[in-house]
């Protein structure tokens, strides 16, 4: 029984490693800046003046890890969802 619990813990750790990190690129209307934010985070990972600059930040983050990205337009509607690696 103890062996089974240990196996389950190991499997859960492996699942967490395999889960993709998710980032969101959105526009902050008040500050008039593009925000790169990790899903679940309170603060932005980076604030950028242009959307292109925000996308470059996401590409830099994806160099070392498997990412899932959601990009929104200025009006808040989803533009695209992408997986980078």
Q: Would you kindly state where each structural domain of the chain is located, as residue ranges?
A: 21-84
Interstrand relation of 46-48 and 33-38 (parallel, antiparallel or unpaired): antiparallel
- pLDDT of 43 reads 94
Comparing 81 with 14, the larger pLDDT belongs to 81
- pLDDT of 21 reads 82
Is the Cβ–Cβ distance between 23 and 67 less than 8 Å? yes
What's the predicted TM-score (pTM) here?
0.68
Tokens read off for 55: 């996308």
Tokens read off for 53: 């600059």
pLDDT-based confidence at residue 83 (cuts at 50, 70, 90): confident
Q: 19: exposed, middle or buried (C-beta count within 10 Å: 0-12, 13-18, 19+)?
A: exposed
For 16-75, the pLDDT digits (tens) are 545 678 899 999 999 999 999 998 899 999 999 999 999 999 888 877 777 788 899 988
pLDDT at 12 over 80: no
């Amino acid at each position: 029984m103890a062996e089974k619990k240990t196996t389950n813990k190991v499997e859960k750790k492996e699942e967490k490693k395999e889960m993709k990190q998710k980032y969101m690129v959105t526009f902050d209307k008040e500050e008039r800046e593009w925000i790169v934010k990790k899903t679940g985070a309170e603060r932005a990972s980076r604030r950028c003046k242009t959307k292109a600059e925000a996308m470059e930040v996401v590409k830099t983050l994806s160099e070392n890890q498997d990412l899932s990205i959601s990009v929104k337009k200025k009006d808040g509607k989803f533009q695209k969802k992408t997986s980078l690696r």
